Amino acid sequence: MNTAFPRKWEHAVVTGGAGFVGSHLCAALLDSGAAVTCVDDFSTGLPENISILTGRPGFSFVEADVAQPFTVDRTPDLVLHFASPASPADYLRLPLHTLETGSLGTRHVLALAHRAGARFLLASTSEVYGDPQQHPQNERYWGNVNPVGPRSVYDEAKRFGEALTTAHADALGTDTCIVRLFNTYGPRMRGYDGRAVPTFVRQALAGEPLTVTGDGLQTRSLCFVDDTVRGILAAAAHGLRGPVNIGNPTEITMLELARLVIELSGSSSEIRFVERPTDDPAVRCPDITLARDKLQWEPGIAAEEGLRRTIDWFRARPRGSAAHGS
């Protein structure tokens, strides 16, 4: 991964740093020469995600729920707020925790950044666009979200987090940035987290039917985690307030994705169609004009390559590991 970022950080705090994207961010920041404090409560993150970072110079860990007041030992100049359940299995299991992390948690992390005079970056999501009626989605689109549907605990937590971040910047002058991430995938995802890529990969490697919801014609835009991390750190370094979409504008249907996973894994699995979840978006594709123009960022890893790397990582995991469990 290219870690030659245009701005050097001395000390970064990454909330949710033991999660999927957060742990990759911690590693990239360490590689760039920054000290990193990872904050996580392990409600969805995994100790094994940061075990390879423990002992590296500059890395420290604070076990804390950001919805409660917490402290770090060293003043940061960058604060990246990634704490939140992000997969359907997690936010449906932890609805109140998800909402509290997006509200109280965001407030506590913003306060930390403000006191330190640090750059603050909020990890928001393409879910703020809901089941979009504009396609592709640019940052000016307000979205089509059901505020009381089953996905609302995640959608509204992130939408509130965006509003709070904006208000903090306007009212107090906090240096903030909002990134909206689209369907990131790659190593360190959990096989049972409910998202399409790890579900399909787990099923294909086990020889189980791949469960495609509905008719499988709904689309997503898959961005490999290395590309996502580059985009996040480019946004942090630029000074852009955002929101800015970080994602891959190449769409793929869920049926095409299932077939591609079967092909790349050499699996003999078949495809089985199952009921489609309520409020499942029909399309999802980012307009990344802003990221290209302002950040000079765009994804560079094609789906085939990213899926091969992801499949290889899952294949190397021992059966019954946390990566395979819930």
Q: Render each residue's pLDDT in the chain as its tens digit; 326 residues.
A: 333 455 789 999 999 999 999 999 999 999 999 999 999 999 999 999 999 999 899 999 999 999 999 999 999 999 999 999 998 889 999 999 999 999 999 999 999 999 999 999 999 999 999 999 999 999 999 999 999 998 999 999 999 999 999 999 999 999 999 999 999 999 999 999 889 999 999 999 999 999 999 999 999 999 999 999 999 999 999 999 999 999 999 999 999 999 999 999 999 999 999 999 887 888 899 999 999 999 999 999 999 999 999 999 999 986 644 454 43
- CATH topology (fold) of 11-316: Rossmann fold (3.40.50)
Residue 7's pLDDT is: 77
Pull the structure tokens for residue 52. Answer: 């390879």
Residue 150's pLDDT is: 87
Cα 18 to Cα 196: distance, rounded to the nearest angstrom: 21
Which residue shows structure tokens 């890529």? 197
pLDDT in tens, 20-77: 999 999 999 999 999 999 999 999 999 999 999 998 999 999 999 999 999 999 999 9
Cα 166 to Cα 159: distance, rounded to the nearest angstrom: 11
Residue 281's pLDDT is: 84
Residue 3's pLDDT is: 37
Please spell the DSSP secondary structure of 69-109, one letter per residue. Answer: ----SS--SEEEE--S--SHHHHHHSHHHHHHIIIIIHHHH
The reported pTM is 0.93
Across-strand partners of 79? 13, 120
In the chain, domain spans:
11-316
User: Hey, which residues are catalytic here?
Assistant: 154
End-to-end CA distance of the chain: 29
Residue 2's pLDDT is: 38
Amino acid at site 165: T
Residue 1's pLDDT is: 36
